[in-house]
Structures are given as structure tokens and as C-alpha cells.
Amino acid sequence: MKYFIIEGIIKNADLMDENKMKEHMNYTQKAMDKGLILMSGLKEDMSGGLFIMKADSIEKIDDYLSNEPFKVYGIQDYNVTEFSPHYFNESPNKWFNK
């Protein structure tokens, strides 16, 4: 399995509307339900998002991103970085508690 950090970069926020946002959220949720996305969230400055994914290949990530609604509508582009995790927190739920 390969692991990827994906940075979404908003290129045209004016194209965003409620329906496109719902499509984006549903698309992301389906990938989370399949176990492809570990976490996803907005950058604090609202200039895009960040998420961590796993897949067998970069081609599967590229396929996922090319069909992502924000990409399809020209709202967002993506930077993809493959990485090899070496250390894991055994209690991620505790790590994210405030």
C-alpha cells in the first residue's frame, strides 16, 4: 500500500455553490467509507484542503482526483506527495481530542 498527502488549492472559489459543495462532500464521504481517506479538512486560511489517502498506486489517486467534483468544475487543483510512514500513533482518537 502507498500513502499520499494531498493538498487542495482553490483556484476559483466563485464557481463554488451549495450543490457543488454537497457533491464534493458526498464524494469525499464515499472514499472515507471505503477506507481510502484517513482524514480530510480545510486549511485554516480557507485556500483549500488537506487530506491523507492510501491506494495501491499513484494512478488510483490520480483517477480519484480527476473525478473529484471540485476538480471537474474547475474550482480546485491538487498537489500530491507520496510518503512512507515510519511511526504510528497507536491512539489516534486520543491524539485528536481537544
Tell me what pLDDT residue 20 has: 97
Strands 37-42 and 49-55: antiparallel
Residue carrying the nine cell digits 498527502: 5
Strands 2-10 and 37-42: unpaired
**Angle at CA of residue 8, ends 6 and 10, nearest 5°:** 170
**pLDDT tens digit string along 31-54?**
999 999 999 999 999 999 999 999
Confidence of residue 98 (pLDDT cuts 50, 70, 90): low
Q: Which domains does the chain have, with CATH numbers?
A: 2-84 (3.30.70.1060)
Q: What is the pTM of this model?
A: 0.88
